[in-house]
Structures are given as C-alpha cells and as structure tokens.
C-alpha cells in the first residue's frame, strides 16, 4: 500500500532538512525518515472499516457537527445512498446499452456529490467546506438534455403506464420512486437553508429522467409497457 500523504509530507520535509547535512549524520537522518514512512504505511494497512464512534446514535456532518442519526440530514443521505444502490442494480441489467450505462454511472457520481452537499449544512459551513462541496446547475442542464434526447425516440404518452417493461426498466421505475422519496426528504433541508436549492432541482429533474429512460430501455430491449386501465 502507498504511504499516506502525511508520511510523504514528512519525508519531503526530512529531505529538505538533511540537504544541509553531510557524512554519517546525513545517512542516519535519511534512514530514520524511511523508517517513519514504513511505519505510516503499516498503519494504513491496518485501518478498519468500523470506528465505533456512532455506537451511541450520533454521527458527524462534513462540517464536524455531531448530530443524531435520525436527523433530517441523515435521512436524506440514506435516501441518496439507496437511490444510487438501486441504479447499480439497474446497471447490471443494461449490459448491452453502452450509452445508457454511461449516463447512469455519471449520475451515480453526481449523487455522490449531492450527498457531499447535503452533508455540509450551510448553517455551519465555512468557505472551505462550501468550495469543496459546491454542486453546479450544469448537471441539471445535462439531465434536461438527456430527457429531451430520449423523449424524441419514444412514442408520446397517451395514458398512464404501470412500472413494467422488463427487469431493467422496472428497476429504473423503482429508482424513480426512490428518487421521489429522496426529493421529499431534501425539501425540509432546502426550506431551512441547510442545503442548496440546486440539489433539489437536480433530484426533481432526475426523477423525470429515470421515468423517461425506463421507457427508453423497455423500447430498446423489446419489452411492451403495461398501460393503466381502471378496473
């Protein structure tokens, strides 16, 4: 495993200090620095997934606040995580749809950025936090372009459709439903000025995209959609 950034910084500092030394003392300091690097590398190998810091029901935002895991921020983060996981399932059923796979993978990456923004409440964020977690309206524009492109290749809707159209399309409909729940959980965060409005716009547009791409996938894979009829 590669040494940690802190270890590398320590090593670079050592090199600068030892450049003015000579002879035995010079070699001793270099060997000592190498031992520090090896120790940090060994420490990195032993990092555990669990930290035990959340065992009492609290966890941290990106700004360092400790909040209950039942806080609205973590409800929203859980929904974003669930949505991305559902897209992962959909991807496994779109193996032959290269362009759509690329779109969905990009969306998973954007959802990671959405989560970073949500985890940085504006009420306690410093400028450095905001700069690292800023989310751009460019992603909203991109979704609208994708929606328009897929819609142009679909017959117009003349009635309500039920979630259907094969495994991939049905999974994308499920992702759409999760996305709507995600949207509902973000609304309170935006109204209390804890989350940027652009995040809400993105999630709202994403549900429209997921509905459209589900229909598109069904059409490409040759599956018919089930229309709603009142019984």
Mean pLDDT value across residues 141-148: 98
Cα–Cα distance for residue pair 163/169, rounded to 1 Å: 8
Q: For residue 9, is pLDDT > 50?
A: no
Please tell me the pTM assigned to this model: 0.78
- What are the structure tokens assigned to 122, written together? 């504006």
Q: Each residue of 183-205: b (16+ CB within 10 Å) or e?
A: bebbeebbeeebbbebbbbbbbb
Q: What is the pLDDT of residue 8?
A: 41
Tell me what the pLDDT averaged over the chain comes to.
84
- Predicted local distance difference test score (pLDDT) of residue 25: 44
In the structure encoding, which two tokens stand for residue 82, read together?
A: 């669930």
| Backbone torsions φ then ψ of 119, nearest 5 degrees | -75, 0
- How far from 18 is each of 21, 22, 27, 100, CA to CA, in Å? 5, 8, 9, 55
Six-digit token string for 119:
């985890």
Distance between alpha carbon 105 and the CA centroid of its chain, in Å?
Answer: 10
pLDDT tens, position by position, 108-129: 999 999 999 998 888 887 888 8
Percent of the chain with pLDDT over 70: 80
Residues 42-70, mean pLDDT to the nearest whole number: 81
| Residues 117, 133: Cα–Cα separation, whole Å | 5
List helix spans (H) across the chain. 5-18, 23-45, 72-92, 98-118, 127-133, 138-151, 166-191, 197-220
Average pLDDT rounded to a whole number, residues 69-93:
96
Q: How far apart are CA 141 and CA 138, in angstroms?
A: 5
Residue 194 near residue 121 (C-beta atoms within 8 A): yes
d(CA 77, CA 134): 16
3-class DSSP assignment, residue 94: coil
Q: In whole angstroms, what is the distance from residue 58 CA to residue 35 CA?
A: 38
From CA 30, how far away is CA 124, in angstroms rounded?
Answer: 43
Average pLDDT estimate for 207-227? 96
CB 148 within 8 A of CB 217: no
């Amino acid at each position: 495993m590669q040494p940690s950034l802190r270890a590398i910084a320590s090593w670079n500092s050592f090199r600068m200090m030892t450049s003015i030394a000579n002879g035995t003392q010079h070699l001793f300091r270099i060997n000592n620095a190498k031992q520090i690097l090896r120790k940090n590398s060994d420490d990195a190998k032993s990092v555990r997934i669990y930290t035990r810091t959340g065992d009492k029901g609290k966890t941290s935002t990106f700004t360092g606040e400790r909040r209950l895991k039942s806080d609205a921020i973590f409800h929203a983060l859980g929904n974003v995580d669930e949505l991305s996981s559902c897209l992962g399932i959909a991807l496994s059923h779109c193996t032959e749809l290269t362009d759509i796979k690329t779109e969905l993978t990009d969306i998973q990456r954007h959802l990671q950025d959405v989560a970073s923004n949500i985890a940085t409440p504006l009420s306690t964020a410093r400028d450095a936090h905001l700069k690292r977690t800023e989310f751009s309206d460019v992603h909203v524009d991109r979704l609208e372009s994708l929606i328009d492109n897929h819609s142009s290749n679909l017959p117009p809707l003349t009635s309500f459709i039920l979630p259907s159209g094969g495994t991939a399309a049905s999974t994308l409909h499920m992702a759409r439903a999760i996305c709507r729940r995600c949207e509902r959980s973000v609304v309170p965060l935006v109204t209390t000025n804890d989350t940027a409005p652009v995040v809400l716009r993105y999630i709202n547009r994403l549900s429209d995209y997921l509905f459209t791409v589900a229909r598109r996938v069904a059409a490409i894979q040759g599956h018919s959609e089930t229309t709603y009829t009142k019984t």
